[in-house]
Amino acid sequence: MTTLTFYGGCGEIGGNKVLVEDRDARVWLDMGSTFDFGSEYFTQYLMPRDRFGLRDYFALGLLPKLPGLYSQEWLDRAGFAYEPPRFSAAFISHIHFDHTNHLKFLDPAIPVHLGVGTKIILDSWEITTRSMDLLSHDYRTFRTGGSVDADGLEVEPIHVDHSAPAAYGFLVHTSAGTIAYTGDLRQHGPHGEMTRDFIEAAKTNEPIALITEGTRVAPQDPRANFTEALVKSKSIETAGKATGKAVFATFYPRDVDRMRTFVEVAKGVGRRFVIQARAAHLLLSLAQDTRIQVPDVLRDSDLLVYDRQFERQDTWEKNLFAQLGDRVVTSDYVRAHQDELVVQLDFTTMPELVDIQPLPGSSFIHSKSEPIEENDEVEAAVANWVRFFKLKRFQYHASGHMSETEISDMIRAIAPKTVIPVHTEYPGRFTRFASHVVQPRVGDPMPMG
Ligand SMILES: [Zn+2]
C-alpha cells in the first residue's frame, strides 16, 4: 500500500513536509518550516526551551512525535526516546527556509538529497551567516536527468524555474503509480523552459496524483504579474531618471536571477553595482556550478562589494576582500559617488544609510513581494527608513510562483487522477479547475491507488 501523509503546507503557504510510504521506503519530500512556525506561542523573548530539545515543540503539538526521525541531540532531554532512523531519505526541492528549515531536527544519519546548486548555496549561507546549523547531514547531490533509489523507491528530480536557483520538482515512481510534486515553481522567470520540462515529464508519466503548490491561488492575488524582464526595464527607467542621486535596490538575498537583473540595470544606465559581501560570496560559490549563470564577481569591473567595516572580519570576508582589491568599497566611497552607483541594501543593512547619507529624492527599488501581512514588522521598519531618508519608493518584483491561471493550465496539461494542493491558503479553490481534489489534513495518511 502507498500512502501520503502531510505534516505541513496544509492550508498554509510554506512548511512543506510530505511523507511518501511505499513498500520498504519512507521518504520525505521537503522538510520545511512555516514562516510563522510556533508564533502562536512564541515571540521575541518568549522562546522554546531549546535546552530541553524538542520537549516544548512536542507538548504544544508543533512537531509530530515520529520515532526514528529526529536526532539524538534534539531528543536527549525531550522525554521521547531516540531510535535509529526509520526513514529512507529526505528530498529537498530548493533552498528556501519553508522547504528546508526543519532539517536541523533530522537525524543526521538520514540521507538528504538535494540539487548540486542547492548544496552550494547552503554551504555559502552557512559560512556567511552561521544561522542554519545544517552542516552535519549526509548530503547527496542530484541533477536533472538522474534519479535516486531510496530503499526501492525511485525519485526523479526535474528542474523548475523559481526565485532560487537549483529548484526542482519530483516524480516519485511508487508501486501504485507516479506521484508528481511541484515544489515551488513559476513560468514567467528567466528559466520558464525548465518548468515546462517538468510539466512535460509529469504529463508523460500519467501521474496518479499531483501535489502542487498554490501560493497565488487566491480570491485576490496581491502579486503583480511582472516578468523578470519587466523588473529590469522598469528599474532601468527609474535609475535612468535618478540623475545626480543614489539608487538602492532591495531583494531576497538568495535570488540570484534578481542579482543578475540589477547588474544589468546598473550597466544599462552606466552605473556600477555595489553588492553586499554575503551576496558576493554566494555568487562566487555558485560560479563553481557551470550550469548556473551568475555575474562574475572576480572579473566584472562594474561590480563592487560593500565593506560594512566590522571591527573583526571573518575569514571568509577577509579572503573575499583580498581577492577583489580596490573593488571593495565603504560607505565613504558610496556617499561620494552615489550618483554613479546602484546599491544593494537588504533589510539588515538599512543602517548603512546613516553613513551613506543619500541625497533626498534618491530612489529605493523594493524588489520583493509587497508585504501581505498588515503587521509585518520588518517591512514597516524598512518603510520608516525609506521615509526618514526621503527616498522615493518603487515596487518592481517578479514573483517566484505561478499565477492561478498558470496553475490551472498546468493541472490541465498534466491531467493527474488526483490533485493535492499544498503551500496555499485556499486549497478549496482548486475544485474550480480540477475535477478530483483531495485536501490534505495534517498527520492524516492518504491512501494512494
Ligand atoms: Zn520557494
pLDDT in tens, 208-259: 999 999 999 999 887 777 899 999 999 999 999 999 999 999 999 889 999 9
What is d(CA 125, CA 87) in angstroms, rounded to the nearest whole number? 27
Task: Quote the ligand 1 centre to 11 CA distance (angstroms).
Answer: 16
Three cell numbers, residue 311:
571591527
Confidence bin at 373 (pLDDT 50/70/90): low
CA 422 remoteness from chain centre: 16
State the Cα–Cα distance between residues 245 and 135, nearest whole angstrom: 43
Say which residues have a Cβ less than 8 Å from residue 354's Cβ, sequence separation at least 6: none
Percentage of the chain lying above the pLDDT 70 cut: 98
Contacts of 362 (CB under 8 A, 6+ apart): 242, 245, 246, 247, 248, 338, 389, 390, 391, 392
Distance between Cα 83 and ligand 1 center (Å): 31
Closest CA to 3 of 212, 213, 208, 214: 208
Q: What is the CA radius of gyration of the chain?
A: 23
The per-residue pLDDT for range 336-351, each reduced to its tens digit, is: 999 999 999 988 999 9
Q: How far is the CA of 426 from the centre of ligand 1 (A)?
A: 17
Distance (Å) from CA 291 to ligand 1 centroid? 20
Question: For residue 266, what pLDDT is reported?
Answer: 98
Give the residue-averaged pLDDT of 134-161.
94
pLDDT at 34 exceeding the cut of 90: no
Query: How many Å lie between the centroid of ligand 1 and the Cα of residue 81?
Result: 33
Least confident of 155-164, 197-206, 371-380, 381-390: 371-380
pLDDT tens digits, residue range 378-398? Answer: 889 999 999 999 999 999 999
Q: How far is the CA of 390 from the centre of ligand 1 (A)?
A: 33
Per-residue pLDDT, 132 = 62
Over 70: is that where the pLDDT of 375 sits? no
Taking the centre of ligand 1 as the mean of its atom positions, its distance from the CA of residue 129, in whole angstroms, is: 19
Q: What is the pLDDT of residue 69?
A: 98
163 Cα–ligand 1 center, Å: 7
Cα–ligand 1 centroid distance for 115 (angstroms): 14
- Ligand 1 centre to CA of 240 (Å) is 32
Distance 96 CA to ligand 1 centre (A): 5
113 bridge partner residues: 91, 140
pLDDT in tens, 313-370: 899 999 999 999 999 999 999 999 999 999 999 889 999 999 999 999 999 999 998 7
Q: List residues bridging with 305 in a β-sheet.
A: 275, 328
Contacts of 431 (CB under 8 A, 6+ apart): 437
pLDDT at 17: 97
pLDDT confidence band for 449 (50 / 70 / 90)? confident
Distance, CA 401 to ligand 1 centroid (Å)? 8
- What would the pLDDT profile of 287-299 be if each residue is shown by its tens digit? 988 888 899 999 9
pTM for the model: 0.94
Ligand 1 mean position, distance from CA 98 (Å): 7
